[in-house]
Amino acid sequence: MRHWLSIGASVLVFACGGTTGNTSSPPSEAGAPVCSSSGTSCPDGQTIESCAVPDDKGQCASIYYQLGSATFPCSSCTDFASCAMAAAQACGSASDGDAGLRPDDAQVGADDATDAAAEADEEIDPIAVGHAWTYAVTELGTYPACPAGSSTATALTTSTQDGKAGAVEVQSLCTGAPPSWYFVQGDVVQVDVTGTWVLALDAPVQEGHTWSNGETSFTWHNAGSVTAYDADRPFSTENLRFATLLQSDVLSAMNAQGWGIPDDGTLPDTGFGSSVGDPSAGGLAADADAYDHLLLIGPAMSGYFTTPSDMPGAVVEPLYITDPFEGSIADSAQGQSVIAQGIATAVEQYLAPGAK
């Protein structure tokens, strides 16, 4: 399941409105690299540096690693696994499992450098040197610093900022706004606002968790569309085919309206549903826990459930009603009609002659 912020637009304000602190350096000129040391020494005493080269707008044009006079160019500002491995191997201690680097200064060894980018992106907001985010900006009212259109925010460099070692300087998505400094610890993100660190995102990332930046409160809500199928039935292949059509057609129908519903995937039904009681006490609660399927589409289990369905099926959960935006769609006549049309399309496709 994916987690989305219920007041997501408010988070972006920090990228536009935050200002740099007293220890920040001025933005580099176009073409002049912004380099930061990893802090990890090679056997010969040298240190790998990660460097970002900004374009004439201060946005990332390219990144590379540097070890002495040797440079290791990366494929792009977001694809740096191969260059990280090359730098780690040149360092000479990559076999120790801690000399390779990715541009956010996290340490990886030669064996796992290839997975560095994927691991970094597991964070809810992976702010790291070399990462960039492209936004479709809509101007509300008059805000000259942040005109409408496509704009990119780029993580430029890392340093100690207002007492936070490893803070990352990010060029704002607003072309007329100065860079801001962010400090990331897992899924907790703080932003430096005129010398004060303010909480931008907080953990745990789970339904109902609330936090405040001092002015506005935020809440994590589950969001997205998911379809469950049973993989333990004799016709499990057909279950999966039908579920895949349902997920695709219902999601497409909703997002054709511009609703931007996240795709939570097509998943086996184990772990879905709920039961009442303590399984350790035995009885019905223990049977339900052992069954671990949805009764609507699940298999038989002796002594618990003896009348399973005899045809392929799936359960689609188009929206989370606990999310205010998705809940409003589910409660509207238009939303219900769009979902129904998506389901009807999937059924027609599944039953179409020759469809497999």
22, part of any domain: yes
3-state secondary structure of 94: helix
pLDDT at 95 (0 to 100):
32
pLDDT at 226 (0 to 100):
93
pLDDT at 83 (0 to 100):
66
pLDDT at 192 (0 to 100):
92
62, part of any domain: yes
For residues 83 and 205, membership in a common domain is answered with yes
Tally the domains of the chain.
2
Question: What's the rounded Cα separation, in Å, for the pair 274 and 93?
Answer: 51
Domain extent for 1: 1-222
84, part of any domain: yes
pLDDT at 101 (0 to 100):
39
pLDDT profile of the chain (356 residues), mean per 10: 28 22 37 62 71 69 80 70 64 39 35 37 79 81 76 88 90 84 92 91 89 88 91 94 95 94 93 82 88 92 92 93 90 96 95 83
356, part of any domain: no
Where does a domain end: 163, 187, 222?
222
70, part of any domain: yes
For residues 6 and 116, membership in a common domain is answered with yes
For residues 45 and 12, membership in a common domain is answered with yes
CB 264 within 8 A of CB 1: yes
pTM given for the model: 0.52
For residues 338 and 215, membership in a common domain is answered with no
Question: What's the rounded Cα separation, in Å, for the pair 201 and 87?
Answer: 33
83, part of any domain: yes
For residues 239 and 171, membership in a common domain is answered with no
For residues 214 and 258, membership in a common domain is answered with no
Q: Strand runs (DSSP E) across the chain, as ranges?
A: 2-5, 34-41, 47-54, 60-67, 70-73, 100-101, 107-108, 132-137, 149-161, 164-171, 180-185, 188-193, 196-201, 210-212, 217-223, 225-229, 263-268, 315-317
Where does a domain end: 222, 245, 265?
222
For residues 180 and 294, membership in a common domain is answered with no
pLDDT at 21 (0 to 100):
30
For residues 216 and 234, membership in a common domain is answered with no
For residues 208 and 232, membership in a common domain is answered with no
For residues 204 and 247, membership in a common domain is answered with no
For residues 29 and 133, membership in a common domain is answered with yes
CB 269 within 8 A of CB 315: yes
For residues 188 and 46, membership in a common domain is answered with yes
pLDDT at 288 (0 to 100):
86
pLDDT at 42 (0 to 100):
67
168, part of any domain: yes
DSSP code string of 246-273: HHHHHHHHHHTTT----EEEEEESTT-S
